[in-house]
Amino acid sequence: MNSLGINKSKKDTNVVVAMSGGVDSSVVAALMKNEGYNVTGITLKLYDDSKSSTDGRQCCAGQDILDAKRVSEKLNFEHKILYYQKKFKSEVIDSFVDSYTAGETPIPCVQCNQTVKFRDLFKYAKDLKADALITGHYVTRIQNNGHAKMYMAKDQNRDQSYFLFNTSQAQLDYLRFPLGEINKSETRSLAKKLDLNVANKPDSQDICFVPNGDYSSVIKKFRPESFKKGKILDVYGKHIGNHEGIINYTIGQRKGIRVSNDKPLYVVSINANKNTIIVGSKDFLEIKKIKLRDLNILGNKNAFNKTINIKVRSTGRLLKADINLEEKTVYILEKETGISPGQACVFYCRDDLGDKLLGGGWIDKAFNKELSTKLTS
């Protein structure tokens, strides 16, 4: 059994490394090559980056492809480029725009992992007869009784399990994540030690296809009609102001409301059907119950017979919650504010090995018992 848990010698083991052009995937490719595996690096071209940020903080763009190619040339392994712009547009960008114009706060990185990066790249790697697909994600994978489990990474500040909640069991069995047991600082040190050209390259920031973090510019490009003026209501339904389009607002937002009030006002709900923004005090942001859609469950459903932990945002803390899988309902047992439809609710349970991923679902509706359903539906 080799270091990847495959019953072959390293020289007879073919691996595909998903290379974004960043430091993490480049280090992974170098580690695999130096260990003696047969490596094929694959970089996806996902969008037209001609007008994107030029500060090196995005991924899967022109410069990133060149960086990945240089790493492969230095280490002498094959590198391929897959042109997935059409797939990315239809399955990730369009979904992002649809979600945003519906008053949600989408996470396109999850959609990207679920579709072009794992589903399509998974198939491509299989077609190449690869024994495993390797990525630079910071998650821990543990093989047990023939099937793999995913845990939070050793580097909790870099853990990416939240973004991988939609991974299927078949994908998880095929995937490997060599960086799960090391810290980001160690990855940087390895890149310098290996003399990789990307050793000092900044990490990607925000959403790759959103130039300089300007979400509204993307919406304006694809759905210019979405900038429709409407009413701002208080939590009792009173018309207290006007907005320039719901896509300018997200749940929990305080700035940009432009309504004078004795106390700070926050966006507590967005009603896309009525084109209204509902604002109120911070108390109205507290959510105790959420409804999910499109659940993905990893492992035994018996784990949900007791209180588990959830995350409702990638940088958020673990919260205790009770889950009703049949009703796709989550009852949050701790105080949490600003939960938005379109985000993910990800399930975890703690065992002797760490925080194990149990799957998750998309947040369809967040309930505030103080807010009238007449305003939100």
Which residues, at least 6 apart from 189, have a Cβ–Cβ distance to it below 8 Å?
none
pTM of the predicted model, to two decimals? 0.91
Q: In the annotation, is 59 catalytic?
A: no
Q: Which residue has the higher pLDDT, 57 or 300?
A: 300
* Catalytic option among 59, 109, 112, 345: 112
Q: Which residue has the higher pLDDT, 13 or 245?
A: 13
Q: For residue range 250-302, what is the model confidence (pLDDT) as tens digits? A: 999 999 898 988 889 999 999 999 999 999 999 999 999 999 999 999 988 99
Radius of gyration of the chain measured on its C-alpha atoms: 22
- In percent, the amount of the chain with pLDDT more than 70 equals 93
Q: In the annotation, is 345 catalytic?
A: no
The CA angle 74-77-83, to the nearest 5 degrees, is 105
What domains are there in the chain, each with its CATH number?
A: 10-213 (3.40.50.620), 227-284 (2.30.30.280), 286-376 (2.40.30.10)
What's residue 53's pLDDT? 44
What's residue 52's pLDDT? 45
274: tokens are 């009525």
* Catalytic option among 59, 60, 109, 208: 208
- Torsion sign (Cα): 351, 355, 360, 362: positive
Q: How confident is the model at residue 54 (pLDDT cuts 50, 70, 90)?
A: very low
Contact 199, 191 (CB under 8 A): yes
Q: For residue range 195-206, what is the model confidence (pLDDT) as tens digits? A: 999 999 988 766
Burial of 248 (0-12, 13-18, 19+ CB in 10 A): middle
